[in-house]
Amino acid sequence: MSKGNGKNGAPKRGRGRPKIEIDKKLAVDLAKIQCTNEEMAACLGVSHPTFLARVREDEELSRAIRDARENGKMSLRRVLFRIANNDNHKSQLGAAIWLSKQHLGMADKSDERIQATTETKVTVNVEEFKRLSKEEKTSRLLEHLGMRGARG
């Protein structure tokens, strides 16, 4: 038996448990469908801290997971457009919108309103004001508040 070898000529192991290997293909497939790190660890049969440690140690695995997540987002975006443009799939649109909000950072637009923060006195000729259309009333009020240029 040569120096440094274990029993029966096998390489001598270091202390502690053997390093747990991560199934890279499965990890990438899970990342494509936007699984969280916790979900990936559970599916791979390792603890969450062990999974994070392996990803930190293995730059290739880290890059593959990052790229797979981005590719998964592109696939989701592609499906969302396909569903939105196909009347046969409109029933799936709600689920696709929910996923896009969760993973693509999309959100409903909020209705923005102008709010006055100071008091402004407005002198109005009531009879003339009554004859104005809603649009003209709005326009004049905005002009008075300095929020729209005067009309020529």
Residue at token pair 């930190």: 56
pLDDT tens readout for residues 25-41: 999 999 999 999 999 99
Residue 114's φ and ψ, nearest 5 degrees, are -85, 130
Handedness of CA 110, 112, 117, 123 (dihedral sign): negative
Give, as one character, the DSSP assignment of residue 5.
B
For residues 111-130, give the mean pLDDT. Answer: 62
Reported pTM: 0.53
pLDDT tens readout for residues 62-84: 999 999 999 998 988 888 878 77
**Listed ranges 2-11, 31-40, 86-95, 108-117; the one with the highest mean pLDDT:** 31-40
Burial profile 126-152: b = 16 or more Cβ within 10 angstroms, e = fewer: eeeeeeeeeeeeeebeeeeeeeeeeee
Q: Looking at per-residue confidence, does 92 or 117 come out higher?
A: 92
Contact assessment for residue 55 and residue 62, using Cβ atoms and an 8 Å cutoff: yes
